[in-house]
Structure formats: C-alpha cells, structure tokens
Amino acid sequence: MAHPRPLDLRGTVLALILAAIWSANPLAVKIGLADAPPFRLAWMRFLLGGLAILAYAWWTRHRGVFDVHPGEWRVLWSLGLLFAVQIGLMNVGIARTTATHAAVLVNSYAVHTVVLAHFFIPGDRLTVPKLGGIAIAYLGIVLLFARDFSFQSGTLVGDLIVSASALLLGERIVYMARAVQRLDPIKMLVFQAAIGSACFFLVSTWWEPGEPTRYTAPLAASLLYQGSWWPDSTS
C-alpha cells in the first residue's frame, strides 16, 4: 500500500474549502428536515448525489464505474453500508438537536480520523503536535457543551446520536483512504450512492409511511446543497 503523500498547497486549500462546505451541511440537513422525515431526506439526497456522480463520470469520460472485479464487492458493500448507517444516524440526530450542536459534533470527525489513521494507515502517525491539536479540539467541545449539559436536556439524545455519526464518519474516511489505493474512487462513490439510496428508500417506506413531505423551495435548496457537492466531499 502506498504511503500518504505530504500535503501540498493545492491539497491544503482544497481540504479547507471542502471542510468549510461540509461544516454547513448540518444546517442544510436541519432545513430539509422541516419538510421531510430523516430517512426520506437521506434517500433523496443519495439519489441526487448519485446522479451528480454519474454526470461527472460521463462528462469526464470516466469508464468502468460499474465493472466490479473479484474481491471488490466486499469493500464496496462495506463502504456503502457504513455510509448509510453514518448518514442515517446524522439525520436522525440532527432532527433531535440544534443545528449549532450538530455542526460542532459532526465536525469532530476530523479528530477521530487523526486517531484512527494512526492505527490503520501506514505512515500516518500521531505526533506531539497532532496530540496537542486533538487535546485542544476535545477540550473545546467539552467547554462548548459543559454549560448546557444535563440528562434532562432536550438535545442530549440527538447530541449523542450525532456524536456516534461523527465517529463512524472518521472510520469511513480512514477506510476509504485505504480502499482508494486499490479501487477507483468514482466507482466507490457510485456504489455508496446506490447502496445508500436503496437502504434509505426501504427504511423510509417501512418506518415513515405516514410522515408527510412538503415539496418546498427550502427543501429543494437543502437537497441541492447536500447532493450536488457530495461527490467531491466524500472523495
């Protein structure tokens, strides 16, 4: 397996831009949840994201996204199911907490990623500066939530669910960093979208049959934000 390359200026700028876009994703989800239940919102987002990926593949003449070679099915299914669980927890959690809490907790995935990468990605080791950054990040989260923390808090359950989603997101990023050494990243995104769409459609049909969906401009904007840039954010 190839070792991680040093982060250059272009990679740093792109990472910061994607981080800024992703940081607003909980707000987009919260807006969408006002008009659609969590799992229905998720499958619509996945469907839109999948179409965006296919459009990108067609535009760039990227071939072979549906060609699965021996040994790839396990990785593709693992990534797809992991992604579905992670997004499902995020949507359900955001529905039970505030957008501010969700934004802070979801973005704690970066801290989890650094820790998990130390154990699972060769060459991506924890250093003293990284440990210092992790400590500061965790302390910041504790300080932000300490004043509002209470077992009677109306957002506690949602906060815990979103925290679990952030942990799974960190795990998924590490898994993808390993898998992308052997698999086509566009293929991984296509199958994540397909598996996620199918999973959430089935869960929504079974769990949310009586929940209404209001087709409004805010819902369309929410889905457009979540789905249209999603391929870049997950690669």
Residue 100 CA to residue 175 CA, distance in Å, equals: 28
Per-residue pLDDT averaged across 182-196, rounded? Answer: 91
The answer to whether residue 25 is domain-embedded is no
The answer to whether residue 13 is domain-embedded is no
Q: What is the largest CA-CA distance in the chain?
A: 54
The answer to whether residue 22 is domain-embedded is no
The answer to whether residue 7 is domain-embedded is no
- Cβ–Cβ under 8 Å, residues 58 and 231: no
- Cβ–Cβ under 8 Å, residues 99 and 158: no
pTM (2 d.p.): 0.84
Per-residue pLDDT averaged across 17-33, rounded? Answer: 85
Q: For residue 21, which of 106, 79, 86 has the smallest C-alpha distance? A: 106
The answer to whether residue 209 is domain-embedded is yes
Buried b (16+ CB within 10 A) or exposed e, 93-118: bbbbbbbebbbbbbbbbbbbbbebbe
The answer to whether residue 214 is domain-embedded is yes
Domain of 222 in residue numbering reads as 32-234
Q: Measure Cα distances from 233 to 22, 129, 160, 179, 228 in Å.
A: 7, 26, 24, 16, 10
Residue 141 CA to residue 139 CA, distance in Å, equals: 5
Say yes or no to pLDDT of 168 above 50: yes
Q: What is the model's pLDDT at position 231?
A: 44
- Cβ–Cβ under 8 Å, residues 40 and 95: no
The answer to whether residue 23 is domain-embedded is no
Q: What is the model's pLDDT at position 150?
A: 57
Q: How confident is the model at residue 106 (pLDDT cuts 50, 70, 90)?
A: confident
Say yes or no to pLDDT of 121 above 80: no
How many domains in the chain? 1
Average pLDDT of the chain, as a whole number: 84
The answer to whether residue 2 is domain-embedded is no
Least confident range from 52-56, 129-133, 160-164: namely 129-133
- Cβ–Cβ under 8 Å, residues 94 and 29: yes
- Residue 166 makes CB contacts below 8 A (sequence gap 6+) with 105, 106, 107, 108, 109, 112
**Per-residue pLDDT tens for 40-86?**
999 999 999 999 899 989 999 998 889 998 889 999 999 999 999 99
Which amino acid makes up residue 70? Answer: P
